[in-house]
Structure formats: C-alpha cells, structure tokens
Amino acid sequence: MDDTSFKLLAKYLPSTYVQQAKDARNSQNFLINQLLEKRKWPEEGWSDRSIEMLLDELASLDSNNFIKNRGVGEREARIASSLVARRNFHLGHGLGRSGDLTEVQPKAAGSSVMYQLTNDLAKDALRTLGVPGIQACFVAPLATGMSLTLIFLTLRQQKPKAKYIIWSRIDQKSCFKSIITAGFEPIIVQTVLDGDELVTDSGKIEAIIKQTDPELIACVMTTTSCFAPRACDDVESVAVICKNHNIAHVINNAYGVQNTKCMHVIQQASKKGRVDAFVQSTDKNFMVPVGGTIIAGFDKLFINKVSQCYPGRASSSPIIDLFITLLSLGSKEYISLVKERKQLYQSLKEGLVKVASQFGQRILHTPGNSISIGISLPPLQDPKILTQLGSQLFLRCVSGTRVVSNLEHKVINDHEFRSWGSHHNKYPTAYLTAAATIGMTPVDVEQFLHRLTKVLESWSAKIAPIAVPLLTNGHEVFAHDLLLTDEYLVDQESSVI
C-alpha cells in the first residue's frame, strides 16, 4: 500500500482509523528502515510475520516477480511448482554473478539486498560474539569442508607453486578431505598428550615451516571446536609462527561461535599473529539446516578474493535460513542461549562425573575443551563390543555420542591414521564423548544421563564375563565369550570411529 491506497481507504474507514492504520504501517516500515540503515544485528528478535513481510518486499524487487516482466533469456527464475516458489519466498535467482558471489544481480535486486544484509548481520554477530576485530565476512552457501576447499583454492591462485598444507591433526574426515580436494598434500602434525588432553604441537609446526621452502606451503590449518579429549588448538602460538614466517593461517572454527573461548582465541590470534580466514558453520552455531558457513577474516581484500574465486551462481537457501534466524532470534536471545549452553555444559559434566564413578570410570580432564566431554571406557580388545554401546544409545534415541576404541586404523587418500577417531596415534584409553551445544535443553541433559546409565547397566552386565569387572579399571579383557547381537552391527556416527 502507498499514499494513494491510504487516501482510498478513507472511503472505507473513518479518517482517524486511516491515520492510525498508517501509523501502524509506519512502525513496520521503521523496523525495516532501521535495518537497512544500521546494518546491525537487532537486539530484539523480529516476529515471523515481520520477517516474512520483509522477505516479500525484497522478493518484489526481483524481476521474476515484476507483474509485467517478460523474460527472453536463458535464466529467468521461472519457478514451476508453487510449493517450491512458496518455500523460497519467490526468490529464484540465487546468489552472485559469474564474477563474484557477492556482486549485485541486475535481475535480482531484492536477492542482492538480502544477501548484503545477511553478510552485514553475520559480521555484526561475529563482532558481538567475541571477535570485534573482524574486517570482512560473507556467508558461503557451502558447508565447512567445501568452504575450506574454496579458501585453499583461493590461496593456490595467490601462490601457484604451493603444494602443502600443514595441519594439526583432527579426526574429522571432511577437514582432511578439504585439503585433498583442493589438490594439496597435507603435512599432518600429531597432537601431544598432556594429561588426558591432546594439545597442539606448535613446536613441530614451526620446525616443519623452517625446514620447508615457504613457496611450497599454502597455509597452516588449525581447529578450535572439536571433540574431547582434543583441546582447542593453540591458535595464538600458531598465528604468531605464521606471522613470523609469512605463512597463511586458516582456522576451522566449525562450531566455535557459540563458545566464548573459541571466539576469544581467534581475536587474540589476529592481534598477535596472522589469521587469514576463519570458518564457522551456520547450522552448528545458528541452528539452521546444514549448508552454509560464514567465511570471515581480518583483511578485506583476501576475503573478497575468496568470494570472487567462486565460479558462477549459487543457492540462496542457506542465506535465507540464516537471515531469518538472525532476525528471529536477535542478539539478546542468542546471547542468552550461549549462556544457557555454558550452564548445561556444567550440568552435563557434573552428571557424567556421577555416572562414570557409578561404573568405575572417570571423566577425562580436558580444560581446553569447553564443549565436548569424554568419559573413559574399560579397555576391550574387540572394538565391536564398544560399538554396541553407541548403537544401544542411538536405538534409545540418543544421538551424537561418539565411542572411540583406539583400535581402528584407517587409510584415507594414502594417509594412514592410527587410532582414527582419537586425534592421536596411541591414546591411552577408550572413551565416549558427549557435547553441550547451543539449543540443547535441560531435559536433553537429564534424559541423556538417564538413558546412558540404563545402557551402561545392561552393557556392563553383558561384558561382565569378559571384562571382570567393569568397575575395575585397567583389566585385560577377553572378547571371545561375548555374544554379538544384531544391534552391534549398526554402522553409524554414534559408534566407534
């Protein structure tokens, strides 16, 4: 509706109602205009209604929604199914032009504005959540692995001779593959055992850099958020090393945005040393479906190069999801969820201490990891017996635990990983991990602890003949008597890796 509409409404309504209706409409426009003007993450979340109305307004600016438009090109964002049109808010042109992911699309002014706003909100969010020094970022319609690959491909364009990426080992396949797919060779730096905890071998990293022709090193890759007992990498030290030797440094901050510590070390690293880019998953941090990351950095030019490296257009779906979610939550609600997560991490830890002791086990001491917690398991020769623990939990509707036996060895793209899953060639004990992540509720923690206890009870009864007793830690275990039932064979994340 425009001014003419309100004039026409005078035929339908007393003038005071028209005036008030206009005022109400102005309030809504004011919300939009504030966003357009300030480009900041609003403190108060928006209602779904306000968000949808903004998306409708933006979609109206895309040529496929012009009432009079006639398309004679090869790509006109026609949408055949009304179901598809509706779920995409009639936005059909995706992101980017051939030159650059963040470039304005002539046929899609609304989509372009939406993307710029999302990038602005994302930048403000990262600033608000612990990295005030950030200079540029964009939301990539790619999950973490492929986003890292994109960064590596950009680095290749800048350093065409580079062959290697130095990588502080983390046993997550897609991290490793992001290097391989980009066509680089990983130089794997094993983590160091410090008590229960696995920490960065910065000395080794520096030693490798010193030994190698710098032209051949594309970058060092470190990781913040990870499964216990691995700690957040010592990104500060690595950043300093990288700065000193003029080597690029890429940080995988997959689910670190929700964690003050992960964010803080990145900010510190950028001050003292070198950080070229850090990548965070949108699904893990902002509770949207899988498919996006925020690629951020402290050098505008480099981050622009990454976005320019992307050839052609891309799906705008991950951006729409993040845009809606950032507006819907507002910073206030998000920060309160971050605080709640911290408390739930404590509850989870306290609960696990109790459960562990009940079964003669203990919590792994990993002060460098404030998201994931490990609980030791008795040493068994047969990884399948451990598998069943994860399987049983999954079948009891507990998802996300990981059982690590230290007995699995894996070869990925010609690289051997001993004790795959544990981030270390010889971790002293088998264990199970659980994590407290954003969006979790007290009921999740309580129910998980309850079901874990039940499962451990039945499981320890089963392994009793071979692991006499589960309560006595450190005993030799004989697997031959164990009857494997079908459920042990579940092949899943929740099981041994």
Residues placed in the known binding site for substrate? 97-98, 105, 313
User: Does 128 sit near a copy of itself (CB under 8 A)?
Assistant: no
Minimum distance of a copy of itself from residue 343's CB (angstroms):
15
Question: Is the CB of 188 or the CB of 192 nearer to a copy of itself?
Answer: 188
Assess 28 for contact with a copy of itself (CB under 8 A). Answer: yes
Angle (deg, nearest 10), helices 173-181 and 144-158: 30
94 interacts with a copy of itself by CB under 8 A:
yes
Closest CA to 283 of 260, 255, 261, 263: 255
Residue 294's beta-bridge partner residues? 139, 280
Whichever of 111 and 270 has its CB closer to a copy of itself, that residue is 111
Residues at the annotated binding site for pyridoxal 5'-phosphate?
75
Which 8-state DSSP code applies to residue 434?
A: E
Shortest spacing between CB 218 and a copy of itself, in angstroms: 11
Among 143, 165, 386, 466, binds a copy of itself (CB under 8 A): 143
CA-wise closest residue to 361 among 460, 486, 445: 460
User: Which of 439, 453, 468, 471 touches a copy of itself (CB under 8 A)?
Assistant: 439
Distances (CA, A) of 149 to 123, 140, 359, 459: 21, 12, 43, 41
Q: Under rule CB under 8 A, which residues in 53-72 are in contact with a copy of itself?
A: 53, 56-57, 60-61, 63, 65-72
Residue ranges in 242-271 that form contacts with a copy of itself under rule CB under 8 A: 254-255
Q: Which is nearer to a copy of itself, 343 or 472 (CB)?
A: 343
**Structure-token pair, residue 329:** 């939550």
Please report whether residue 321 would count as binding a copy of itself according to CB under 8 A: yes
Q: Does residue 36 touch a copy of itself according to CB under 8 A?
A: yes
- Binding of residue 294 to a copy of itself (CB under 8 A): no
Q: Contact, 360 vs 454, CB < 8 A?
A: no
Judged by CB under 8 A, the residue of 40, 128, 133, 174 near a copy of itself is: 174
Q: Where are the beta strands (DSSP E) in 169-290?
A: 185-189, 192-194, 197-199, 217-223, 249-252, 277-281
Alpha carbon dihedral 454, 458, 460, 465, in 10-degree steps, equals 170
Residues 374-433 interacting with a copy of itself (rule: CB under 8 A): 391, 394-395, 397-402
In the range 184-223, which residues lie near a copy of itself by CB under 8 A? none
Directed axis angle between helix 202-211 and helix 235-245, to 10°? 20
SS3 249: strand
